[in-house]
Structure 1
Amino acid sequence: MEFALGICIIAFLSLVALAFYYEHPKAEIPQGVDQPIKLYIVHYIVNLVFGLGRIFEKLGICKEVYLIRTFLYGIPPWKNTKLFIKDLEFANVSVRVYQPKMPSAGLRTGVLYLHGGIGQIGSIRMYERVCRFIARESDSVVVCVGYRLAPEHPYPTQFWDCLATARHFMMTAEDYGVDSARIIICGDSSGGTLTAAVCQALVSRTDLPKPRAQIMLYPFLQALDFNLPSYQQNGSVPLLLRNRAVALGLQYLNKDLSLMKGILEGSHVPKDLKLKFGKWLSPDNIPVEFKTRGYKLHVPSSYSEELHTMAKQAFEMTFFPLLAEDAIVCQLPEAFILTCEYDVVRDDGLLYKKRLEDNGVPVTWYHAENGFHGMLFLIDYGVVSFPCGKRAMGSVVNFIKGL
């Protein structure tokens, strides 16, 4: 019995060691980041799960993404006495509706929440605490969208699911005590991508109310230049490492990871697109204070037509909303953009902020000077939470209440 137990312990420890070998990028934890020791611990655990997922896939037990999803579901919170919570379907898409129990003098603001996870690993349950926090603190009705995930449902299924639920919510808002003129589209990370894309798609709709606002929380908005200042400065800062971000993006688009090196170098972008998008996607548009931690102008490798053809989906507006035409951008609703200093996609948010402002769209900007990508996911987890995330979410709540 003791021998068998010893063998099991050794096997488990060997598996853990092998998992970390597979996922062992050297993280850089800047001293300026919020609670660096805690962040390193969280990063270690996340790396371990990714490593175990890779081993399980190699052994034929299950796909890597399935193990990661299971881990990231999170611990369900206690029953909430302040909210009515219902699981429903909007346009055949699973949603969870959070409604404050306290009576309201009139119709409330509605928030359609599009979760992150690069189209593969997010879920309603994973964002349960985030959505409860927003509904409770802002006294709004929150609808979290459980859009279908890749690879079972290939891109751009996720966009179409989110657009369908937005249309349904706008048409039935009063059924949930929501003013149809005060519906906000909100999302974090790749959910911010979906938020921008959905708002752009709704611009031409004359049969629906216009969204009151869009909230993008450290959004991923472009796949052309992975050598902007924030990608250079924060490429090894948890929780979203530069290489992992590109790898997950390729997996989301069902592309081979062998394309990653050329994409990181910018070889997938033809000269005509560089000229067309240069005015919008230029390091010159990044304020100088965001370059003080270091930045070196990157010279892309030679263009590869084959790589461009294989990566062409990355240039679609549903994946690359930063580069929508001015005629669309100028019609977008008021925006709230959250950026984090220690985040690879920080500059995506800064560039979209400039695009919106240049086109006359009001923008409320909150910059978390000690924040990092993913800090909001751990909100409402007690000692595991990061103060920078709670402060940032407080600014989101204040924005919602002020509309």
Structure 2
Amino acid sequence: ISPVLIPALFWGIVLYDFFNSELPPGIEQPLKLRIFHSLLITAMVAGKILEKLGICNDLTILRAALNGIPPWRDSKLLIKDLTVDEVPLRIYQPKSPSTGKRRGILYFHGGAGTFGSIRAFERVCRYMAKKCNSVVVSVGYRLSPEHPYPGQYFDCLNATLYFMKSLEEYHVDPGRIIISGDSCGANFATVICQILLNGRDLPKVRAQVLLYPGLQGLDFQLPSYQQNAFVPILPRKMIIYFCFRYLNRKPTVWKDVLRNCHVPESMRQQYKKWVSADLIPDEFKIRGYIPPKPTSYKPEVHEAVKEILGITFSPLLAEDSIICQLPESYIATCEFDVLRDDGLLYKKRLEDNGVQVTWYHCKNGFHGILAFFGYGVFSFLSANKIMESIVNYINSL
């Protein structure tokens, strides 16, 4: 590729992004966010070009860009890499002496199941390990499409089972295990917590920590999806696009999925008690919400994406008999995030079933903000506030 092409491509995308995205009043550091968003789109477009040329997979550039810059060595942590059932793990242990056994925190990174890595969230995991005086296990689950869905869940489950059976080795208190994640990683954490309810000979999970989670594929017309449809870093079209990439399907019917044509009427009626704009507090509709016009169910669209209506993809749809058994929970949501209402709806479901929830709402934040945590001038203040809230919560357990 010509050295001139990439800068020209970037500035062309900046111009395109200016006219095709929205930065609502109140969002943090809009200019910085626009630049980062343009860089991500540039990486995606460059990947498509390289794939057409037969050089690499179209996700290669995006994955490399989001890996970030490795941090310096940390003298306060013992960091160990290992592989369990072909799944890379990185374990962070404080070097300082402990008077007793430490907490154990499993962390599943975000990235729509198709990108993201242990390295991308190195700073987040190091920070938690040090500030919470805990053993943190970052799980490098294998990515789609190379490792097809739902393999990511099995990777996360196998990593969790390994850690739970090795607590003595890492000097971890079996009564203080926390399962956490951001974005799709929070989805994995939610599913793993539900699955572990059936684990008879395993320690009981102390808490789940879910950071701007995506938890349902039933309704893409909720208020947060409308309000943040064109907001970086995750506009509404992109979340549908990555759903298709995650499932390794061509996005031929993405517009119909966006209009909820993939949902049978019987299912819509069955789950409206749990997934509905009517359940979203009015304060979150102030920025605008128009009830969508009824759409016709299209069986061919349902067939194309039926997996997103299953409990594995949509743990928000789990029965009350499961939800009521879940551990104490922490949920962080961001105002300028299409997935905001997924978090609000799950918070309500948990509370309605008697599960204690600590909720932190980041009023200036956007989706994926923690990916920039720990990068100095390139970070966002809201990411620091979310991390401070997480640390305070974990230290209270």
Of residues 353, 366, 389, the one that matches 1:395 is 389
Of residues 105, 110, 114, the one that matches 1:120 is 114
Q: Distance in 2 between matches of 1:10 and 1:336?
A: 47
Contact 2:17–2:38, Cα closer than 8 Å, also in 1: no
Q: 1:319 to 1:69 in 2, by over 3 A?
A: same
Tell me whether 1:88 sits opposite 2:82 in the alignment. Answer: yes
Q: 1:177 to 1:310 in 2, by over 3 A?
A: same
2:68 maps to 74
Q: What is the deviation of 1:32?
A: 0.2
Letter in structure 2 aligned against 1:277: Y
Of residues 331, 354, 369, the one that matches 2:348 is 354
2:268 maps to 274
Q: Secondary structure at the match of 1:252?
A: helix
Tell me whether 1:191 sits opposite 2:185 in the alignment. Answer: yes
Tell me whether 1:207 sits opposite 2:201 in the alignment. Answer: yes
Q: 1:84 to 1:282 in 2, by over 3 A?
A: same
Contact 1:338–1:368, Cα closer than 8 Å, also in 2: yes
Q: What is the deviation of 1:10?
A: 3.9
Of residues 29, 36, 46, the one that matches 1:35 is 29
Of residues 137, 140, 144, the one that matches 2:131 is 137
Contact 2:262–2:305, Cα closer than 8 Å, also in 1: yes
Of residues 238, 244, 248, the one that matches 1:250 is 244
Q: What TM-score comes out, normalization by structure 1 length?
A: 0.95
Q: Distance in 1 between matches of 2:46 and 2:116?
A: 18
Q: Distance in 2 between matches of 1:16 and 1:188?
A: 28
Letter in structure 2 aligned against 1:212: R
Contact 1:91–1:168, Cα closer than 8 Å, also in 2: no
Q: Distance in 1 between matches of 2:84 and 2:19?
A: 41
- Give the CA RMSD over aligned residues: 1.7
Q: Secondary structure at the match of 2:311?
A: coil
Of residues 90, 100, 111, the one that matches 1:106 is 100
Deviates more, 1:90-99 or 1:201-210: 90-99
Contact 1:376–1:389, Cα closer than 8 Å, also in 2: yes
Contact 1:16–1:52, Cα closer than 8 Å, also in 2: no
Q: Distance in 2 between matches of 1:262 and 1:23?
A: 24
Q: Distance in 2 between matches of 1:80 and 1:32?
A: 35
Q: 1:177 to 1:272 in 2, by over 3 A?
A: same
Of residues 219, 227, 230, the one that matches 2:221 is 227
Q: Secondary structure at the match of 2:187?
A: helix
Of residues 291, 298, 302, the one that matches 1:308 is 302
1:65 maps to 59
Letter in structure 1 aligned against 2:159: T
Contact 1:266–1:300, Cα closer than 8 Å, also in 2: no
Structure 1: 5+ residue stretches without partners? 1-6
Q: Distance in 2 between matches of 1:269 and 1:331?
A: 28
Letter in structure 1 aligned against 2:241: A
2:317 maps to 323
Q: Distance in 2 between matches of 1:17 and 1:61?
A: 24
Q: Deviations over 1:269-293 (max 9, x none)?
A: 0011011101000111100000000
Contact 1:23–1:48, Cα closer than 8 Å, also in 2: no
Letter in structure 2 aligned against 1:72: L
Q: 1:372 to 1:19 in 2, by over 3 A?
A: closer
Q: What is the deviation of 1:91?
A: 4.1
Q: Secondary structure at the match of 1:246?
A: helix
Contact 1:20–1:51, Cα closer than 8 Å, also in 2: no
Contact 1:23–1:51, Cα closer than 8 Å, also in 2: no
Structure 2: 5+ residue stretches without partners? none
Q: Deviations over 1:322-357 (max 9, x none)?
A: 100111111111100000001000000000000000
2:157 maps to 163
